Amino acid sequence: MTTLEKMGLASKEAEKTLSIATTGEKNRALMEIALAISERKEEWIEANKKDIESAKNNGMKQSMLDRLLLTEKRIEDIVKGINEVVKLEDPIGVVLESFSRPNGLKIEKRRVPIGVIGIIYEARPNVTVDAAVLTLKAGNTVILKGGKEAINSNITVVTIMQDALEKAGLPRECIQLIEDTTRETTMELMHLTKYVDVLIPRGGKGLIESVCANATVPVIKTGDGVCHVYIDKAADLEMGAKILDNAKTSRPSVCNAAECVVVHKDVVKDFLKIAVPILKKSNVELRCDSVSLPFTEGKLATEEDWDTEYNDYILAVKTVDSLQEAIDFISAHSTMHSEAIVTEDPEAAEEFLNKIDAAAVYWNASTRFTDGGEFGLGAEIGISTQKMHARGPMGLNEITSYKYVIIGKGQVR
């Protein structure tokens, strides 16, 4: 039996306890985790410093270093997120439907845990905690496979969480981390069908495509984010510039950041006159089409720019002749994550909201709100861009399944 198979077996065994744990027992474990992370935050930060130093030596770009970095403030936010999950209603055992058949059978559809969830992700140590606490609250055990860039951070925080689980009376194996960061181990996890019920990849396009192409374990696809902000001819241009700035520069390394602004030709000159100086404050590089280029200090875009998730201070600029052309362009290049329209025309907004096929569609708001916490779901386990089972920010309900419970009085068929 391989190391990974042993981990899978341990997860299955721990699941037997966790799946029937009461809400109180799970919440106590979560509170112990929050307390332990708060008390041992310096330990976690020291481990993170090793990862940051290694990443710098390996030439990691600044925006990706930002994703890897832990600070006291970020850890405080992580702890706050755990406490928010404690407050959320426990989905397990909820009766979704109840009905009776003519033969007297009573049928209930009850929400249950999925089981063992495998999560493959890249250099974001906060994901380690988000994934662990959400799966725990929903009664699932988890096997985590983080990237090599965050290995010291991940080992430390998983140990902290496991110690807290043990203190709360739940198995340490409810949360496990694969410490071997090689591709071979990742491939083995993708095929661990005997033990893992579902895989959730979180990361860039390459990672997600690799998991979807190679896994035999069922996959919930979370998406890379080529997100757009469309500035309509009826837009409040000052508002549009502020929304775009937030969507691009507040944290460019995340999947809900804008990668392309689409502007109606009637307002492109006036809009860029407002937006460019604001974006320049963050040193945003613009990749423009031939129409918008004269109004910026950017460079001419290539076809590749329309499909690139930069995760950096780079923004593509596309000019369109109409709302329909904007919809067509976005539909052709969207990754179905988050798309926004800025307009004062309700009819144009409604057409955009109805025609754009994405997990989250916005009217006069930043794409940066596509987030479990911002949606009131607590910490999220990912943003699903698929259409089956889960779509958009994945909170507790999205990492559960259901079963039918049938109650009879001796009926036979």
Each domain of the chain, given as residue ranges in start order, spans 3-222+394-407, 227-369
Is residue 206 pLDDT above 90, yes or no? no
Band (pLDDT 50/70/90 cuts) for residue 390 is confident
Average pLDDT over residues 245-274: 96
Q: Which CATH architecture has domain 227-369?
A: 3-Layer(aba) Sandwich (3.40)
The amino acid occupying position 244 is L
Band (pLDDT 50/70/90 cuts) for residue 145 is very high
Alpha helices in 334-408 (DSSP H): 346-355
Q: Which class in CATH covers the domain with range 3-222+394-407?
A: alpha beta
Which range, 63-77, 253-267, 390-404, has the best average confidence (pLDDT)?
253-267
Is residue 271 pLDDT above 80, yes or no? yes
Average pLDDT over residues 366-370: 96
For the chain, the residue count is 413
Is residue 393 pLDDT above 90, yes or no? no
Element (H, E) at 262: strand 258-264
Of residues 336 and 204, the one with the higher pLDDT is 336
The Cα 397–Cα 283 span in angstroms is: 40
pLDDT at site 378: 66
Is residue 106 pLDDT above 90, yes or no? yes
The Cα 291–Cα 316 span in angstroms is: 13
The Cα 341–Cα 262 span in angstroms is: 9
Residues 103-120 as b/e (b if ≥16 CB within 10 A, e otherwise) read eeeeeeebbbbbbbbbbb
pLDDT at site 387: 78
240 and 272 in contact (C-beta within 8 Å)?
no
* Alpha carbon separation from 142 to 12, 131, 179, 274 (Å, rounded): 10, 8, 14, 47
* Alpha carbon separation from 154 to 5, 146, 260, 336 (Å, rounded): 20, 7, 33, 30
pTM of the model as a whole: 0.83
Is residue 204 pLDDT above 80, yes or no? no
DSSP-derived 3-state class of residue 322: coil
- The neighbouring-strand residues paired with 393 are 383
Of residues 66 and 185, the one with the higher pLDDT is 185
Is residue 183 pLDDT above 80, yes or no? yes
Among 26-35, 58-67, 234-243, 362-371, the range scoring the smallest mean pLDDT is 58-67
Alpha helices in 69-150 (DSSP H): 72-87, 125-137
Neighbours of 6 (CB within 10 A): 11
The residue with tokens 């579902």 is 198
The Cα 115–Cα 12 span in angstroms is: 8
Among 114-118, 324-328, 390-394, 408-412, the range scoring the smallest mean pLDDT is 390-394
Is residue 380 pLDDT above 80, yes or no? no
Band (pLDDT 50/70/90 cuts) for residue 23 is very high
pLDDT at site 66: 85
Instruction: Supply the mean pLDDT for the chain.
Output: 94
pLDDT at site 379: 66
pLDDT at site 10: 98
Helix axes 151-168, 41-57, angle to 10 degrees: 160
